[in-house]
A and B are shown apart, each in its own frame.
Chain A
Amino acid sequence: MQDELIIANQKIRSRFLLGTGKFPSYEIMKRAIEASGTHIVTVALRRVDKGSADENIMDFLPKDIIIMTNTSGARTTDEAVRIARIARAAGYGDWIKIEIIPDNKYLLPDNAETIKATEILAKEGFIVMPYVNPDLADAKRLYDAGAASVMPLGAPIGSNKGVTTRELVKILINEVNLPIIVDAGIGKPSHASEAMELGAAAVLANTGVAVAADPVSMARSFAMAVEAGRLCYISGPGRISDTAEASSPLTGFLRS
């Protein structure tokens, strides 16, 4: 069966995108990436004030995957745009996850600033993947601004609460002509599968994998759940009913 994920005219091998934060080590992160089969990973940019013994993350990322810089830490459009330009100038390509967060308690994104940043960066040729609150009007604005996908949150970052925004995400899937990638809050494989069963084009997870007791096997578990959820969606699940519908024939031959 032909079921390809295309983002910005590129064929993406896996519908599971993986963040690289919070892993116990880069070596374990590397093995989790391999186990996940992911084609797109996110990285972040941080200030360095003095030397440290930390290893270079780039030495641990497979060569055949897309590295997408996250603008995390940006609170405004200008800051996000600047991070994107730095990533490109530093040789890390055109894929940008726009994450603009003015709020430290819930880490909820600022849709208005994100739309502005999307417009600026899409014009500069970036492949823009905006992380947003699931809002239909804003998702359409992102489409108009040239976004390559829309990445609505399932629940606050790192909360592991699952697809709490499910009804709104479903509306985006139905109404927006871009890949909808559920990002944030996906704490367990069942959450990932749920998002995919709804019809999401892909799922991005990080904390749920990275903080597991065994991140490598958890990465594989997530990848399997994403695939299972996708297959469910394209197979067309049966309808939900309030009463029972027998799955075996009930013709009575024991009673007349």
Chain B
Amino acid sequence: MRIILNGKPEELPANLDIETLLVSRNIDLSKVVVEYNETIIKSSSWKATIIQEDDRLEILSFVGGG
């Protein structure tokens, strides 16, 4: 299954939810904001959100900046 992850095409297994994807990449769940098809998904919904073909996912984090 192909999706667009952080602006780049990526192959992912089917039936993958957002939380499992984040954990598989060692991403600290408390630190990120997830935008799913241009809508922010609350962390409480990550487990229940199954990623579909052609979805666009952005995993973002607040960092220092001017």
B13 to chain A, nearest CB (A): 17
Q: Name the one of A45, A90, A184 contacting B63, with C-beta atoms under 8 angstroms.
A: A45
CA distance A43 to B61 in the complex (A): 10
Provide the residues of chain B in CB contact with A184, threshold 8 Å: 66
Scan residues 24-66 of chain B and give those whose CB is less than 8 A from a CB of chain A. 25-28, 30-33, 35, 38-40, 58-66
A50 touches B (CB below 8 Å)? yes
Known A-B contacts A48-B32, A86-B33; the reply to A43 vs B25 at CB < 8 A is: no
User: Nearest residue in A to B10 (C-beta to C-beta)?
Assistant: A49
Within 8 A of B (CB), among A137-189: 157-158, 184
Stretch of A17-25, A109-117, A221-229, A238-246 that contacts chain B: A17-25
Q: A50-B25, A51-B25, A86-B60 are in contact. Are A19 and B30 (CB under 8 A)?
A: no
**Distance in Å from the Cβ of B12 to the closest Cβ of chain A?**
14
Contact A47 B60 (CB under 8 A): yes
Bound-complex Cα distance A179 to B64 (A)? 24
- In the complex, what residue of chain A is closest to B28 when comparing beta carbons? A51
State how many angstroms separate the Cβ of B39 from the closest Cβ of chain A. Answer: 8
Interface centre among A58, A82, A90, A206 (most CB of B within 10 A): A90
**Chain B interface category by residue count:** 20 to 34
B20 sits at the interface (CB 8 A): no
Q: Which of A20, A50, A86 contacts B65 (CB 8 A)?
A: A20
Residues on A with C-beta less than 8 A from B65 are 19-21, 42-44, 70, 72
Is the C-beta of A8 less than 8 angstroms from some C-beta in chain B?
no
List B contacts of A207 (CB < 8 A): 66
Q: Knowing A82-B38, A86-B40, A90-B40 touch, does A48 contact B66 (C-beta < 8 A)?
A: no
A207 to B65, CA, bound (A): 10
**Given known A86-B35, A90-B33, contact A48–B61 (CB-CB < 8 A):** yes
> How far is it, in angstroms, between the C-alpha of A207 and the C-alpha of B64 when the chains are bound?
11
Which one, B7, B40, B64, contacts A23 given CB within 8 A?
Answer: B64
Contact A45 B62 (CB under 8 A): yes
Neighbouring A residues of B63 by C-beta, 8 Å: 21, 43-46, 54, 57
A45–B35 Cα gap in the complex (Å)? 12
Contact (Cβ within 8 A) B25 A45: no
B residues within 8 A CB of A89? 33, 39-40
A92 on the B face (CB < 8 A): yes
A-B contact pairs, 7 of them (CB 8 A): A44-B66, A45-B62, A47-B6, A47-B7, A51-B27, A58-B62, A72-B65
